[in-house]
Structure 1
Amino acid sequence: MKVKLISTNQEKDPYPVMPIGMCLVGEAARKAGHQVEMYDMTFQKKQHCISQWVETPHDVIGISMRNLDNCDALFSTSFIPGVKKIIADIRGRSSAPLVLGGAAMGVAPQALLREVGADYGIVGEGEVAFVELLKHLDSGDDPSAARGVISLKTKEPYRQIEGLDMRENVWARIGDRFSVKPFLNYEGVYPLQSKRGCALKCVYCTYVNIEGKKYRLRDPKDIIEEITDIRDRYNVREFEFVDSTFNLPARHAMRLCREIARSQLKVSFFGSNINPIHLESGLPEEMVRAGFRSITCTAESASDRVLEGMRKGFKRQQVVQMAKQFQQAGLRVFWMFLMGGPGEKQDTVEETLEFIHRETGTRDVALVIYGMRIYPNTGMETIALSEGLIQKSEELLWPVFYMSPDLDHGWLKKRINQAIREDPRIFTSNQTQSAFIPFAQRALSWMKVERPYWRFLPMINRVMNFYAN
């Protein structure tokens, strides 16, 4: 069949993301014998180009939607209207079946499918489900009968696919389809997966709904082969592991780092998410030897009370210990904290701010996020329902945020602003909205300045604080 795939994501904050999901699905369809064309909208300003593109012959159109919204209570933006407009434009030019996929489909499958007006949706691993859908369409059978495929007639629970054998050669080959240079110019890095799945139980997170609870691990040798191929063919030297949590399972992360170090790839790694649970002794040093320059830690809080309310599975002391381990290893950390979660009060906010000030490294930065996006089918939805903040009839497609009823919102904003003035390593999305940021990213990339560029955020904060005074 002739297949057209469109990646609708255009978000560039904090940096544009390469369409790894669409490319993985497209590669699977190509291997199954289908003719595949792809269109990435990341840097596309004129939507009419899509309309012209879909007028060429095709049998089915797949549309990838990465996120429902930007998950930012200060500058909330839903991506649903944009996808609806794309689908409406395509409907005017094509009678082919429209299939909606991407991570957003794993968050609210039926509601999203109904809202945007697609014919079918992919739930779970698209490399399998989309190929099965094409097989059903080609034979004239009902695609919604395939596992991992839904339509508006599908009843819950969905038969989600989460059993893809990650030991097989699963390469996105993004550079074969699109130029990677524009992404790298914005501090984007080449995305890699070392596994799928997440066994954690954080109340706000959708990873379990998107990827499933069971870890499926890739062979480190296959990952190294992919990195080598990307490095040599596309001249890429900077990568990021986009797993839900890089260091879980712990043994797999340790083995991968050792294999990479042994291979002497001469590349760098940035931003992979680390969890304080089971942070094996020696892993930070192994990461440095493998070529890691920085990591991301979504600790979310440094208060035991709030960590328990979020069901993070670790305590403050483990966060403190992790901070020390990475400082000793010489790795920069991009910390992320959610303020206003279950159990949050003024004293717990102070605990977290005190941790940032005293325990994090001088080269670290800390992003503070106001409130928690309430997503469907999560523990956060259950908490919000029990507290009467939302109604059971709400589908939560549109941004709704939880803020602890024990916390004064006005006080929190004033306190965070005070903390930023006292410690410029702390910032919120308010600082990243500056039009100067994208310009600075491109300029630093052009000058070949060593990454990560977020290390310059404290300097930007100092300048902003100076002019504010």
Structure 2
Amino acid sequence: MARVALVNLASLPMPGNEPIFPIGLRCIQNALDRAGHTTRLIDFVEDPDASADLSWASEPWDVVGFTIRNIDPIDLACGGHVEHYARFVHRVCDATGDRTPLLVGGGPGYSLFADELLRRLGFDAGVVGPGEQVMLDIVADPERYRGKRKNIPGRRYDGFTTELLRHPAALMAAYAATDDPMIGVETRRKTCYQGCVYCPYAYISGDNAGDLKPVDLIAAELQEIYDSGIRRVFFTDGIFNAEIRYAKEVARTIADLRLPGLRWSAYFTPKPFDDEFAQILASSGVDYIVISPDSLDDRMMKTLGKSFDIRHVDRCIDRCRRHGLDLRVNIVFGGPGENVDSVRASAEYANRKLRTGELIMHVGYRVLPETALARQLAMTEDDLLDPTFYPFDENLFSWVVEFLDKRFIPTGVLLNLMAGKTASRRMTKVPVPAGPTNSNVVDLPFLALRNSPRAASQVGGETA
């Protein structure tokens, strides 16, 4: 049996990073433990000293796995995480001494940039998509993968529907002690049916057979989370109510548990969302309903690939109102074709329909591999590794401030908008290549905005 260290790089102390409980890594650790391997999870919330004191790395590990959740904070004013990851992985390699373990990368962020990160971080192997079954194969024969520099597609793991995921008490206690602690729970593994142009979720989730976790396992997992002292749960499904009958079953299960003070949330879609579902949600302790139309202008919603329109958003909001459900509506200004008219339309809808605190607003679409935006701009994985955003009109920030009610732009939001505007002016403008074949790109003054010193030296574009 193998000795395996699993390192949660998502908890690494670095600018712009907010550690999130390592659900994916715990799924892998749980699978390895059940198979009889010896594992240790290195998480810097649970053990802050472990990021500086690398004595753990010198233990005789056969495999060291690193999970990468985010490449950057997906914020105009923030830089990327990759250089921090690279420095830390190299430090770990130095600390392993003469016995070099097999190095494996994985996680959702890794899966998006797997080829580039495999090269840059020096891993022997990487996992693209769900990792349990592939990691079981790797640790069964590590030498088979040494030096191969190969990424392996994730596969379905039977244990997702049969095994209770129990988390170590010390790890739970560490996260329970953080400010406003929240833990993720996975209920289903099925590729998202939405066609949003910016979203790589379907690529990350891979071919996973559409498994739904039995509600008795969900109930047991929630009970253990509750007993640990954590009172907030977020269901990590791409869309919680994509299959509304199953979503109703999960919500009823939560209500039947009768756990005082437990609050939960998830990403919802306005369609399907009927009155029965809203009533069940109201009895289940749901914290708030998060919907992401990403624009409140019908033309923009269609351009962004939404499977619903403003009528469905209207009905969803009305149902939430009738059943006393708190609401959060995410919109992101700056998508393909965004102009003064679409910004005004979104703002006028928000001003008319949304209450103070219900609007969550961002500016700028981070372009990610394997998405329609990346294909439209003909940008490669290597092009996109540094924080790269779809180009938008420089007047966008002024339009947002002009058209939105001031109740949606408190001081903190205004400061974020100002920081984003300043950052966008400093970012490299990636020039449109000669003779673009995609008609959507022809009229763009530049291809993208990139926040990276590397971009300024390599691309040669104008710096705003």
- TM bracket (short chain): 0.7 to 0.9
Q: Pick the aligned partner of 2:144 from 141, 144, 147.
A: 141
Give the superposition deviation at 1:294. Answer: 1.2
Kindly tell me: are residues 183 and 369 of structure 1, through their superposed partners in 2, closer, same or farther at Cα, counting changes over 3 Å?
farther
Is structure 2 residue 212 aligned with structure 1 residue 217? Answer: yes
What is the rounded CA distance, in whole Å, between the counterparts of 2:9 and 2:418 in structure 1?
Answer: 21
Q: Pick the aligned partner of 2:363 from 359, 365, 370.
A: 370
What is the rounded CA distance, in whole Å, between the counterparts of 1:57 and 1:169 in structure 2?
Answer: 29
- Counting matched residue pairs gives 410
Kindly tell me: are residues 67 and 188 of structure 1, through their superposed partners in 2, closer, same or farther at Cα, counting changes over 3 Å?
same
What is the rounded CA distance, in whole Å, between the counterparts of 2:133 and 2:381 in structure 1?
Answer: 32
Give the superposition deviation at 1:184. Answer: 5.3
Aligned to 2:439: none
Aligned to 2:377: 384
CA contact (8 A) 1:70 1:78 kept: yes
Please give the per-residue CA displacement for 1:171-230, whole angstroms capped at 9, x wherever unaligned. Answer: 1x3343514354553223121111123222211111111113653211112101111122
Aligned to 2:460: none
Output the amino acid matched with 1:370.
Answer: V
What is the RMSD computed on CA atoms of the aligned residues? 2.7
Q: Pick the aligned partner of 2:130 from 125, 133, 147.
A: 125
Q: Pick the aligned partner of 2:398 from 414, 422, 431.
A: 414
Give the superposition deviation at 1:376. Answer: 0.9
Identity over aligned pairs, percent:
23
Output the amino acid matched with 2:388.
Answer: V
Output the amino acid matched with 1:398.
Answer: D
Superposed, 1:22-33 pairs within 5 Å as: 22-33=25-36
Please give the per-residue CA displacement for 1:272-310, whole angstroms capped at 9, x wherever unaligned. Answer: 111112123321221120111212222201111111111
* 2:361 partner SS: strand
What is the rounded CA distance, in whole Å, between the counterparts of 1:2 and 1:429 in structure 2?
Answer: 50
What is the rounded CA distance, in whole Å, between the counterparts of 2:414 and 2:155 in structure 1?
Answer: 35
Aligned to 1:55: 58
* 1:293 partner SS: strand
Kindly tell me: are residues 210 and 33 of structure 1, through their superposed partners in 2, closer, same or farther at Cα, counting changes over 3 Å?
same
CA contact (8 A) 1:324 1:359 kept: no
* TM-score using structure 1 length: 0.80
Q: Pick the aligned partner of 1:251 from 207, 224, 245.
A: 245
Q: Pick the aligned partner of 2:89 from 61, 75, 87.
A: 87
Kindly tell me: are residues 367 and 253 of structure 1, through their superposed partners in 2, closer, same or farther at Cα, counting changes over 3 Å?
same
Output the amino acid matched with 2:302.
Answer: E
Aligned to 1:108: 113
Output the amino acid matched with 2:108.
Answer: A
Output the amino acid matched with 1:108.
Answer: F
CA contact (8 A) 2:57 2:92 kept: yes
Is structure 2 residue 82 aligned with structure 1 residue 70? Answer: no
What is the rounded CA distance, in whole Å, between the counterparts of 2:105 and 2:203 in structure 1?
Answer: 16
* 2:234 partner SS: strand
Name which of structure 1's ranges 95-104 and 273-282 shifts more when overlaid on structure 2: 273-282
Output the amino acid matched with 1:273.
Answer: Y
Kindly tell me: are residues 248 and 85 of structure 1, through their superposed partners in 2, closer, same or farther at Cα, counting changes over 3 Å?
same
- Structure 2's unaligned 5+ residue stretches are 420-464
CA contact (8 A) 1:123 1:161 kept: no
What is the rounded CA distance, in whole Å, between the counterparts of 1:337 and 1:420 in structure 2?
Answer: 12
What is the rounded CA distance, in whole Å, between the counterparts of 1:182 and 1:160 in structure 2?
Answer: 28
- Structure 1's unaligned 5+ residue stretches are 145-150, 435-469
What is the rounded CA distance, in whole Å, between the counterparts of 1:209 and 1:255 in structure 2?
Answer: 27
* 2:238 partner SS: coil
Kindly tell me: are residues 130 and 255 of structure 1, through their superposed partners in 2, closer, same or farther at Cα, counting changes over 3 Å?
same
Give the superposition deviation at 1:39. Answer: 1.0
Kindly tell me: are residues 346 and 79 of structure 1, through their superposed partners in 2, closer, same or farther at Cα, counting changes over 3 Å?
same
